[in-house]
Structures are given as C-alpha cells and as structure tokens.
Structure 1
C-alpha cells in the first residue's frame, strides 16, 4: 500500500452496511483507539457513503500505526481496506489553527453536519415514498385478484414481517439508549429546535471516550435552568465516568446560539 501522503485521518472502506450508525461508530472507536487518541469518527449511511468511514487521530503517527496494524483486519466478517485520507478533516484543521476557538470549530463542524444531515433526510424521504408507492401497488394487486397464489402471498407476508422486525429493532435501540450507564452519560438541555444528534456528535466527538448521542424526553435535573420554548434535550454517552465528567466541565453553559445556554449534568 502506498504511503506517499501521510495524514492523521484514515479512510476506511469495505465496511458492513447493515449495522446502525451509532453501533458502527462505537465499534470503530473500540477497534482504532488502542493506536492513539481519536478526535473524530465520520460514518455516513447515505449519499454514496455506505460502507465507508473516516477515523481522525490527534497525531499522524497514530494514524500510521493503525493503518499498518489493521489493514486487512476482519471487522463484521469483512476485511477492512484502509488508506490515508486525501483531504484534511475539520477536526484536524481546528487543532492546527490557533485562531479557531473550540466553540467556533464546533459550530463550523456543526454547520457541515447540518448540510449533510439535510441530504440524508432527503434520501430517507425518497426511500419512504418509494416504499409507500410499492405498498399501494401491492394493495391494488390484491384488491383486483379474487384468489392469490399461496407462494406469492407468503412472499408478501414475509416482506411485511421483515419490515415490522426492522421497525421493532429501531424502537429497541432507542429504548436501550435510555438505560442508566453508571454516570458515563451526560444530560444536555436547552438546545435550539434545529439541533439534532449529528450536531451534538460534532460537538462532543472531540472529547476522549465519546460513543454516541440520542434524544432525551424525560424530566430534566433540578440543576438545569428552565429551557427556552421548543428546546431539545439529548443524552451524550461516554465510555467512562471520568471522560463524561471532563466533557461536562468543559461544555457546561456552552452557547449553541446566543441566548441558548446549554444545561449539562451527569445522568
């Protein structure tokens, strides 16, 4: 493998495509973190990004060690293909430029995430509309036929059952994210309505041990001030209580927008 242009960011391809993004990012973090400090992991599920991810290390030497140590590694029953990224990540740029504050760097990354999230949303809408059109066509076919062959009926029933199972898995994933994790998670409140999990990931992925972000709808701790109208809340999960404490200390009171002071506390 050519190593002509070393970079602290690795491009990883040939990833398994059916794994949900939070699980995929957590697994990639566990696999690559022994080689050095990871400051960001970018994994896309749409817009041609299926089966691909970018692992951003704090140091280029750590990226090189990971590339040499993990190329060809079997990950979810597929051999990883790893190379240096051709472009510099936003996380790396913010570390190299001393004029960029942590808040400004996070906001710039958040803007990019919002743009990408919009594209992902549009792709999901297209897929949903296609699924609905297929279901309408199937219903018309059933209404216009007095007797359906047993094999065809079984096949359609199997498709519906598979869809129901996938929806059930999504619900179980959301429920699992709400379980107590021994103080290794943060409750973040008073976030603007347009804020989402991807934007929060862009903010907290710069802290060691970050795993994932999910929405939070339960009552807020008494230590949090009354949120603005329409505000959102999130759970931010870390691998250890120590890392979640560090992130809390550095983000408490963070302004996502003027007038939206974020409340942060240990779960």
Structure 2
C-alpha cells in the first residue's frame, strides 16, 4: 500500500477506555513526529481500531516500522497505511468535495445505529476531561487500574520498572513507550491496587535527584 500521512492501527484492546487508548497512542506515536489527529471511536463497527495522522509522511513511515507489533495493553499493534486520505490533506490537494461525499455516506450509516452506539465518548470531568475537551490536571484524575509514569531515567528498562511495581499485589504488566524513554504505563488488576502503588511510588527516586511521577492514566 502506498505510503501516506495516516496510519491505520488495529487490534487495540477493546476493554480499555477510549480516552486511555488515545492517551497511550499519543504518547507512543508522538515520538516519531508531529501528530495532527488521532481518530478512534467506541461504536461497535469501529472499536479496536484508530487512525493516526502525521504532518509528515516520513514520520508515519518511521512509526509504522518501529511500533509494528508493540504490545499495548497486552495486544500487539497491527499497523498499516490508511487507504483513505485524511480530511486535513483533502483540503490541501483539492479533493475536498470527494471527501465530503464519502463523509456523507459514513454519517448516514452512523445515523442508522442506536444512539448510544453512534455517540462519541462524552468529555466530562468524571472521565478525566473537563467540559469542552480540556485535559484535567493529573492530580484530579479519577482512579484507574492503569497508571501513567513520567520522568523516568533514560536507561530505565521494562525489567527494572517491573521489579519496582510488582512489589504491590495485583501487578499485571509494565510497558515503556517506543520513542519516549521517560514515560511508561503500568497496569494492575484493580483500581484499588493501582491506588496503593500510586501512593507508595509517586516521587520515588530511581536515581538520586530524579523523582518519578505516578498518576492515573486518563480514562
């Protein structure tokens, strides 16, 4: 398939909240170049997949090659170039009218779905986002069984981080983010277990003077 700005990502874990998936995808793919858009939906037809549009084709190509098969929330990512051009570039190359026609067909199909299935995930404070879509500060995020780890030393490995977090009962897995050596996600079996880990390990110094920040991942 011809290289283009947009990647089609499949095999996303459907049990993970949509906003958590988007946050994870942004963290993973932003290390390869400027991202213009991440599209992922919660309805039945589109669950488990996403479209990620980069400003540069080269960034998309590098991300496809390096992130292919990366296990996100226990499932390996299946990445291809998208078949369809993104709306952003349709405007630039003069194919906007054709794009609008396709969108009209998609919207008609979407309108035939039950209201709950076709609606986007609301951006409410309780879900980790303020009204209007503005991200809620990390300290106010609601509990989540998945933790977001920041400010890690560059030389941190999966094994080193796992040794630290598996001291808390319920530990499931840790995933460093390709292209972003200072962040990771850690998952526990329950929100309560993740909360204990957050309380005990937030601001822990893996190296002297380097305090690790631990917060709930956005839902």
Taking structure 2 as the reference length, the TM-score comes to: 0.49
The structure with more helix, counted as a fraction of residues: 1
Q: TM-score, normalised by structure 1?
A: 0.41
The structure whose Rg is larger is 1
Higher strand residue share: 2
Larger relative CO (CA 8 A, sep 6+): 1 or 2? 2
